[in-house]
Structure formats: structure tokens, C-alpha cells
Amino acid sequence: MSSTLDALNRWVDDVARLTRPARIHWCDGSDAENAALVAQMEADGTLVRLNESTHPRSWLHRSHPEDVARVEHLTFVCTPHQDDAGPNNHWMAPAEAHARIDALFEGCMEGRTLYVIPYCMGPIDSPLSRCGVEITDSPYVVANMRIMTRMGAAALTRIEREGTFVKGLHSTGELDPERRYIMHFPEELTIKSYGSGYGGNALLGKKCHALRIASHQARREGWLAEHMLILGVENPQGETHYIAAAFPSACGKTNLAMLIPPEGYREAGWKVWTIGDDICWMRPGEDGRFYAINPEAGFFGVAPGTSAKSNPNALASVQSDTVFTNVGLTADRQPWWEGIDNGQVPAIDWQGQPYDPAVRPAAHPNSRFTVSAMRCPSYSPMAEDPRGVPISAIVFGGRRASLVPLVFQARDWTHGVLVGASMGSETTAAATGAVGVMRRDPMAMKPFCGYNFADYFAHWLSFDRPGARLPAIFHVNWFRKGDDGKFLWPGFGDNLRVLEWIIGRVAGHAQATETPIGHLPAPGALNLDGLSLDAEAMDKLFGVDRDGWRAEFDAIAGYLADYGPRMPPQLEAERQRTHSRLVGTGDT
């Protein structure tokens, strides 16, 4: 046996002594193993089988009512020095963190099975992929990790070959919110999560490994681990440009990743290909371009709002072989959520009670579906390419009801990093806490960056070096509202109009108007055929409110200053340049 497998076995033994499970099961990822686990969960009520004729091989899982979202206030980055974690993270000294959470793990698996899950984030044969092992007492986690990662024997073989892996220890514990922690130890490539069965807290390959730990690995190894979708846009000439786009959770990543072009675009030959909807790992290739993989093998998507209008590809993906979490049920056991718009009505709510709209919504606002990416009609086989796909553009965006126009392009890489670093968005139900509050969410990584944001921005800036062929950087805002409180931009498939302009800018032929905040589409440069946008919409979607932006950049100054002397001086200098343009009299 290799020294790596020796080390893995010793770790499993150590965990077993601490948690005292009734039995240990090493997961191989096989169909037979999955069938046995599913049968077990059906028998004990963990999973409810859905209507086999309408949703074959699909199940509903109901989580504890107080365990329905990420818990950022209980999520810690545990580095030897607090400054390395930064003000963007909750910090705890590693020794204290281990002691505090290990006390909770003591004996927590008595009477339960300890599952050992070897997994690979990314295509199993890609040099860009990274492996991990999650230990858990939750068969629901095993079933989801099988969908979301390359899990089982092949991953274990790669771990043995590479000699390194991320260690993740998870237990649902008592599902007591007072006894719940998600701890990250970047220097040790270790994750410990206790007291939650919710996806982002329990599927440790996802946010914990693929973002918090991987962002630390990426900085050390010269790449980027980002909270971004990846899509390909194929034009009528058969050329495909790949775009990576960062939006906070529940802000439309999945909808954009699976976008269906409007009818006129489809008839002209435009196609959109889905690589990934949530996480992007990218690094410079030998030619100086960024190449990216989706480290995940599945989608853990937000169900509410998913409909034949908003995302027909997502709806088609979840018609079979899907695990739903915290959705409602119709009388004939079909999944139901707000916004599905299929003419059916819910009978049972997400807590298993008869549906009463006066008591609670049928589906939890953060209810989810877990399904293999390969089930998506727009899935691209390039997602399995071990080399990754070349990235032409990086797009940032959040929910901003006011101020921010539909789209603008950064002047250069440094300006683009500032655009991402200062990005703001209104909060959603994907995390606990108030909804609709505007907060800074740099690169959509506020809950996920595993180290000090000041160092993270410096890492982004470091890619601008001789020989680099960096992606162009853009910012979009699908969520601008008019004075009546309604959205001004139709969104959904029509977002391809914006992507077309972005690709045109990359290709060098789309026209732009230079403004103090960046390059906006020149009049007529963005295809608006068939849309009826009134004067207010045109003004707010394509205009620059100088007074509002001056106030925004004053606020950004304070935000950057919060990170102290570690903040790269280039960003404050870039902020000052933009502010000077805003107080000037010309457009630029």
C-alpha cells in the first residue's frame, strides 16, 4: 500500500476513534452502492420517492427547518495569523478551532455509519483537477456527492498517484444551530463541518473545498478558484467564445449558464453551451490565455423561480434522476415550487405539512435540486476536456436596483479588478440573515474566499504580466428597476444580446462609448430589435449618473481602506483615477 493510502487509513482510523461509528463504509461510487443507499434512505424517511411516471428515479429530501442555508456567521477560516484570514472572514486560531469542533465530534457517530468518500473536483484526468476525501455520517451527503463530484474508485486511484488530498470531516450531529460550525484550515488542506446537513455546509467538495480551500491552493500555485459560471456562446459562423461570470448566490448564474437564445438568434444559428453554473477554476496556459474547468459534475441549483420561461434547460434537466431538497409536493407527488408556472398546485409544503399559504410557502426560498450536469440539454462535452476551455471574457454582476447600468467594460485589467473588488449586490435567501440588503461582495466571493481579500486582489493583479493574454472584464446588471419598482430589462434569453456585445468587444468590432466608469455600448451597438424599452429604461440601462457614481466611489474608498496596509495600492490609485473622471466635465 502506498504511503498516501497509509496516511488516509490512519486518518480514517483516528476519526473513527473520535466519533465511534457502528460501522465504516468506503464508497466506490457504483450503481449498486447508490441503489442500496437510496433504499435505506427511503426506508427511514430521509428520501421520499417522487411520482415515478413523471419524475423517474427522483426523490425529495426535507432538511431540518433550522438547517436550510449557508451559515456565514458560523463559518471560520482558521489560519495561524488572523491577518491571513482577513476581515472578510470569521477567524479562529487553529488549535482552538480543532479543540472546539473535535469536542462536538466526540462520539457523534455512535449507532451510525461512517462513510469515506474519495472524490475528484474536475475531470478525473485533468491536470487542473484536485482531489479530496470527505468522511460523513450522512447517506444524503453521499448521494449528493456522487452527483456533484467524480466520486469513488477512480478518485481514490488518482489520490494514491498524486500523494495529496483535501481532508473533510462532516457530521450532521444533532442539527442544533447552537452546536454548528464549519471550520476551514487552509494551511492543513482540512475542513471540519458539524451540525448541518445543508448542501453548502455538508457537501464539502462544493463551497468548502472548491472555493475556500481551493482559493488558498490557487494563490499558492498560481491559478484562480472562483464563484463563477462558465458558458460557451457559439455564433452563426461556428466560433465559440467562453465566458466566466461571477454573480452572488441566487442571482441568476444557473439561468445564464443554461440560457436559450431568443427565437431570432436561434434562427440565425446562435447557440449557448453550458460548462458549469457555479464554480470555475482557471489558470494561464502556455499561450498566455486563461483556461478553465468546472470542478463540479452536477448542479445544486435554486428551485424557486425555475420555470419553462426563466430556464427551460434547467427544468428539462430535473425531469429524472434528481434529488430535490425542501420543495413542495403536488397531490400526486410531483415536485412544486413558487414560480414553476406549470398549472399545478401544491398539496404538501416543504416541511411535510398540508400546504397553507398563510403558514409558509410551499417550497423554501432556498430549496434546491441536485442533478448531473450531463442531463442538461445545453451541456457541452467540452466540460470534460482535461485542458479546460479558453476564457475570452470575465463578467461580474450583482443585484442592483439602481445606479449600475446594464453593461459596461473595464478599461484594462487593473480597472477590471477594481470593478470586481468593489462589486455590490442585494442579499438573497441563499444565506441566513436579512434579504435585500446591499453589501459589497467582491467577485461574488465574500462568503467563499479562504484568505484575506487584500491578498486575493493582489493575486488577481499579479496575472497582468508580460506575455499574458488576459480576458476582457465586464460588469452587468440584469436587475435595474424603474421608478415603478419593476425590472427594466427583460432578462432570461434576452441576456444573449448583452453577451453578443461582449463577444463583439473581445473580437474588436462592437462599438462602445467611453465614460468615466468604463466603456458602455454605443447607440445602436447592442441589438435591441423586438424589445420595447421606453425612455426611462434607455436612460437608466445605458446612462451614467455622475452624482450617484461619485457617491459610490466615495463609499468604495472606505471599503478598500478597511483592509489596511495589505490592500494593493494599485486599486486605490485606480479608484482615484475613476473618481477624477467623474468630477471632470468631459465624458472620460
What is the total count of domains within the chain?
2
Say whether both 488 and 390 belong to one domain. yes
Give the pLDDT confidence of 180-196 residue by residue, as tens digits. Answer: 999 999 999 999 999 99
Domain span at residue 78?
A: 3-46+67-222
105 and 10: one domain?
yes
- 28 and 128 together in one domain: yes
Task: Check the CA dihedral 508-509-510-516 and report its sign.
Answer: positive
pLDDT of residue 238: 97
Nearest to 407 by CA among 418, 419, 417: 419
Domain boundary among 198, 222, 246: 222
pLDDT of residue 432: 63
Write down the catalytic residue from 27, 131, 251, 449: 251
Whole-number pLDDT of residue 252: 86
Q: Is residue 322 situated within a structural domain?
A: no
**What sections of 20-46 are H helices per DSSP?**
31-44
Residues 183 and 274 in one domain: no
Domain boundary among 176, 195, 222: 222
Are residues 257 and 128 located together in one domain of the fold?
A: no
Dump pLDDT digits (tens) for 372-406: 999 999 999 999 999 999 999 999 999 999 999 99
Residue that terminates a domain, selected from 206, 222, 238: 222
Does 349 fall in a domain? no
Whole-angstrom distance, CA of residue 196 vs CA of residue 178: 11
Output the CA–CA distances (angstroms, integers) from residue 199 to 2, 148, 203, 297, 430, in the order listed. Answer: 32, 11, 5, 15, 11
130 in the same domain as 169: yes
Residues 194 and 247 in one domain: no
Q: Does 514 map to a domain?
A: yes
Instruction: Give a yes or no: residue 543 inside a domain.
Output: yes
**CATH number for position 200:** 3.40.449.10
In this prediction, residue 250 carries a pLDDT of 73
Query: The domain spanning residue 515 has which CATH number?
Result: 3.90.228.20
Q: How many CA atoms lie within 13 A of 421 on its CB side?
A: 33
Question: Are residues 410 and 468 part of one domain?
Answer: yes
CA quadruple 488, 493, 494, 500: dihedral, nearest 10? 140
Residue 341 falls within a domain, yes or no?
no
Q: What is the mean pLDDT of the chain?
A: 96
**What integer pLDDT is reported at residue 249 of this predicted model?**
79
CA–CA separation, 144 vs 151, rounded Å? 10
Based on the fold, state whether residues 240 and 269 are members of the same structural domain: yes
Same domain for 154 and 110, yes or no, is yes
Do 99 and 149 lie in a common domain? yes
Euclidean distance between CA atoms 395 and 256, whole angstroms: 11
Same domain, 402 and 518: yes
pLDDT of residue 531: 96
- Render pLDDT for 476-494 as a digit per residue (tens, 0 to 9): 999 999 999 999 999 999 9
Query: Between helices 569-583 and 453-461, what is the axis angle to 10°?
Result: 80
pLDDT score recorded for residue 322: 98
> What own/partner pairs with CB < 8 Å and gap ≥ 24 does 160-163 have?
160/2, 160/4, 160/5, 162/4, 162/131, 163/2, 163/3, 163/4
Count of helices and strands (H, E) across the chain: 17, 29
Q: Would residue 251 show up in a list of annotated catalytic residues for this protein?
A: yes
**pLDDT reported for residue 586:** 47
Say which residue the cell 447592442 belongs to. 526
3-state secondary structure of 479: coil
Note whether residue 328 is domain-resident.
no
Sign of CA dihedral 494, 498, 499, 501: positive
pLDDT for position 231: 98
Q: Give per-10-residue mean pLDDT for the chain (588 aa).
A: 89 98 98 98 98 98 93 95 97 98 98 98 98 98 98 97 97 96 98 95 97 98 98 97 92 93 97 97 97 98 92 97 98 98 97 98 96 98 98 96 97 98 83 76 96 98 97 97 96 96 98 98 97 97 97 96 97 97 70
pLDDT at 587: 47
279, 298 contact by CB (below 8 A): no
Cα–Cα dist 105/408, whole Å: 49
Calpha distance 188→132 (Å, rounded): 13
User: Is 588 part of a structural domain of the chain?
Assistant: no
Q: Is residue 556 part of a domain?
A: yes
Q: How far apart are CA 447 and CA 249, in angstroms?
A: 10
Let me know: does 174 contact 156? Beta carbons within 8 Å. no
